[in-house]
Amino acid sequence: MDWPREFLTDLKATGQVKDNFLGLLNVLIGRRIEKSDGTLVCNGLTWRQTAALLKKVRWQKEAAQQLGIDPQRLPPRDREKYWYAAIAQGRVDSDEARKAGDLLAGALGPAGYIIGPAPQVQAVKPTT
């Protein structure tokens, strides 16, 4: 079974991420997702995998506006390139994205999904 696709199709059908696309990207790319019965949905996807998945489920292109991106400035013909460019410009690793991901993780609990915590970014100290 293609669990990431089922997960995204479920979210699209229920409209649970309608206004939190940044949180969705943060969850898909950086977190472990399980069903409440322990079935692994994904262990974090790459940008390319996420873009392909958004293309497969025909996610609404207007969602890029939630990232502060003008959809007219993204590749118009190839939907996978469109999503990849949106992800690249969307600051999915920002503090704002982590908070949006946390908000989405909390909302998906009652829907039967367990979302892992965001990875912690550690500052690298320069060696002298």
pLDDT at 1: 62
Task: Give yes or no for residue 123 having a pLDDT over 60.
Answer: no
Task: Give yes or no for residue 120 having a pLDDT over 90.
Answer: no
- Give the span between the Cα atoms of 122 and 39, in whole angstroms: 30
The band of 77, judged by pLDDT with boundaries at 50, 70 and 90, is confident
Render pLDDT for 85-98 as a digit per residue (tens, 0 to 9).
999 999 988 999 99
Task: Give yes or no for residue 128 having a pLDDT over 80.
Answer: no
pTM of the model: 0.88
Query: How buried is residue 109: exposed, middle or buried, by Cβ count under 10 Å (0-12/13-18/19+)?
Result: exposed
The mean pLDDT of 36-47, rounded to a whole number, is: 93
